[in-house]
C-alpha cells in the first residue's frame, strides 16, 4: 500500500504566506487538500487507491481529534483494507463514546457511542484506536446499504472471523436504526464470495426476494468435475451464473494461448454439461444490466421458474 505523505500548510506559518501558496498549488492540481491545512501531492493522490486516499484523510485530521474518539465505519474499513464500492466518504468517521447523537463537522463525522460496548483493534499508524474487523463490518451493515456492507462482511468472514462473532457484535450495538437490514446483511454474507460482480448479483437477488441460493455449488458428471456455479437454487433446479464481460475480455484470465473465442466455446460446453446433470432444470445468466434493473431481474428469474417476493431492502437506504 502506498503511503501518501501529508504536506502541512497555512497554520504552521503565522504570516499565512505558505498557506496561500498551498491553496494556489491546490487550484493548479499540484496539491490535493485532505483536511484543514493538510495536503498531499496531486500526482501521488491520483495514483493512490480509494483506500489509500481515505487513510490520508484520517492522518490529516488525527492531531485535531480528541483522544477518546475511535476510528470507525468507513474509515476503519479503509484501515482494515476492506472492500468498498468506489471512493470512500470525504469525511473521516469516528465513534464518540460520550455522544448519544451524531454530529457532522467540517472533516469528521462523529457517530454516537454513549453506553455502547465494542472491541477495538490495534492502534493505527497514528496511534489512534479503531474498531476491530467484526465491529467495523457490523457498523457498516447498520449504517450503509447492503451493496456496501455485504462485500465487507464477506471479506471479514473470508479472513477467519466466524458468523457468531458478527452476530455478537450486532447484539453489542444495542437498539439501532436499520437493525433489520443489518441482520439481513449478516445472514446473506458468505466468505466464499466470488468476483465483485457476482457479489453485487447476490445482493440484487436478495433485494427482489429470491430464495437464498447455494454459492459455488459443485457439479460432476460421468467424466468428472464439471465446475462450480455461482448460484444454485436446489428447490427449483436452476443454475444462475454471473456473466461479466471481463471473463471473456481480460487476457489475464485465460490460459496461455487461449483466445476470447476459445473462452466462449469452453463456457458453452461447460454449460451444456451442467444442463445434462441430474436435477438441473434451468440455466440462466445474469449481468450488470440485471443487477441494476429490478424488473429486468424479476423477469429473468420468472422465466427460469425462480420465485420472487416484495423487495426486502433497497440499494439506497
Please list the pLDDT of the chain residue by residue as tens digits (317 residues): 456 888 776 544 444 455 677 778 777 778 888 888 888 888 998 999 999 999 999 999 998 999 999 999 999 999 999 999 899 999 999 999 999 999 999 999 999 999 888 788 877 777 889 999 999 999 999 999 999 999 999 999 999 999 999 999 999 888 888 899 999 999 999 988 777 788 889 999 999 999 999 999 999 999 999 999 999 999 999 999 998 655 555 555 556 767 778 778 888 999 999 999 999 999 999 998 999 899 999 999 999 999 998 766 555 44
Q: Pinpoint the alpha helices (H) of 81-162.
A: 133-143, 146-158
- Specify burial of residue 53 (Cβ count, 10 A radius: 0-12, 13-18, 19+): buried
Question: Cβ atoms within 10 A of the Cβ of 265, count?
Answer: 11
Q: Sort residue 160 into left (φ over 0), alpha (ψ -120 to 50) or beta.
A: left
How far CA 232 is from CA of 33, 130, 211, 216, 274, in Å, comes to 48, 38, 10, 8, 11
At 196, is the secondary structure helix, strand, or coil?
helix
Do 188 and 203 touch, CB atoms closer than 8 A?
A: yes
From CA 274, how far away is CA 228, in angstroms rounded?
Answer: 10
Residues 6+ apart with CB under 8 A from 144: 74
Q: Pinpoint the alpha helices (H) of 1-129.
A: 17-27, 42-47, 50-61, 73-80
Q: Sort residue 216 into left (φ over 0), alpha (ψ -120 to 50) or beta.
A: left
Mutual orientation of helices 133-143 and 146-158 as an angle, nearest 10°? 160
Beta strand segments in 31-85, E: 31-35, 38-41, 70-71
At the top level of CATH, the class of 196-304 is alpha beta
At 143, is the secondary structure helix, strand, or coil?
helix
Residue 245: what pLDDT? Answer: 58
How far CA 220 is from CA of 40, 79, 229, in Å, comes to 54, 41, 11
Closest CA to 290 of 202, 211, 196: 202
Q: Where in the chain do CATH 3.40.960 domains reside?
A: 196-304
From CA 58, how far away is CA 124, in angstroms rounded?
Answer: 10
Residue 310: what pLDDT? Answer: 73
Expressed in percent and rounded to 5, the helix, strand and coil fractions of the chain are 45, 20, 40
The residue behind cell 464518540 is: 96
The DSSP symbol for 288 reads H
pTM over 0.85: no
Q: Is the dihedral of CA 295, 297, 300, 304 positive or negative?
A: negative
Amino acid at each position: 500500500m502506498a503511503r501518501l505523505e501529508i504536506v502541512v500548510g497555512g497554520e504552521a506559518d503565522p504570516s499565512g504566506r505558505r498557506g496561500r501558496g498551498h491553496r494556489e498549488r491546490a487550484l493548479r492540481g499540484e496539491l490535493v487538500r485532505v483536511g484543514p491545512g493538510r495536503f498531499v501531492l496531486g500526482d501521488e493522490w491520483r495514483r493512490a487507491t480509494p483506500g489509500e486516499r481515505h487513510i490520508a484523510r484520517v492522518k490529516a485530521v488525527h492531531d485535531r481529534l480528541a483522544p477518546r474518539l475511535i476510528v470507525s465505519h468507513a474509515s476503519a474499513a479503509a484501515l482494515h483494507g476492506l472492500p468498498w464500492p468506489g471512493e470512500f466518504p470525504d469525511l473521516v468517521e469516528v465513534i464518540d463514546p460520550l455522544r448519544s447523537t451524531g454530529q457532522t463537522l467540517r472533516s469528521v463525522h462523529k457517530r454516537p457511542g454513549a453506553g455502547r460496548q465494542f472491541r477495538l483493534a490495534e492502534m493505527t499508524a497514528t496511534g489512534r484506536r479503531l474498531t476491530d474487523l467484526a465491529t467495523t463490518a457490523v457498523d457498516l451493515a447498520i449504517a450503509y446499504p447492503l451493496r456496501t456492507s455485504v462485500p465487507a462482511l464477506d471479506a471479514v468472514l473470508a479472513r477467519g472471523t466466524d458468523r457468531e462473532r458478527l452476530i455478537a457484535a450486532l447484539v453489542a450495538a444495542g437498539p439501532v436504526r436499520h437493525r433489520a437490514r443489518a441482520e439481513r446483511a449478516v445472514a446473506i454474507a458468505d466468505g466464499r464470495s466470488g468476483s465483485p460482480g457476482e457479489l453485487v448479483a447476490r445482493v440484487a437477488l436478495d433485494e427482489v426476494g429470491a430464495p437464498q441460493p447455494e454459492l459455488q455449488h459443485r457439479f460432476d458428471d460421468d467424466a468428472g468435475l464439471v465446475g462450480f456455479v455461482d448460484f444454485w437454487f436446489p428447490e427449483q433446479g436452476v443454475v444462475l451464473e454471473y456473466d461479466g464481460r471481463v471473463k471473456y475480455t481480460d487476457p489475464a484470465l485465460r490460459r496461455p494461448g487461449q483466445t476470447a473465442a476459445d473462452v466462449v466455446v469452453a463456457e458453452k460446453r461447460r454449460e451444456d454439461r451442467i444442463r445434462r446433470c441430474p436435477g438441473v432444470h434451468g440455466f440462466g445468466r445474469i449481468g450488470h444490466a440485471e443487477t441494476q434493473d429490478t424488473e429486468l431481474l424479476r423477469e429473468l428469474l420468472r422465466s427460469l421458474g425462480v420465485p420472487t417476493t416484495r423487495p426486502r431492502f433497497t440499494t439506497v437506504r
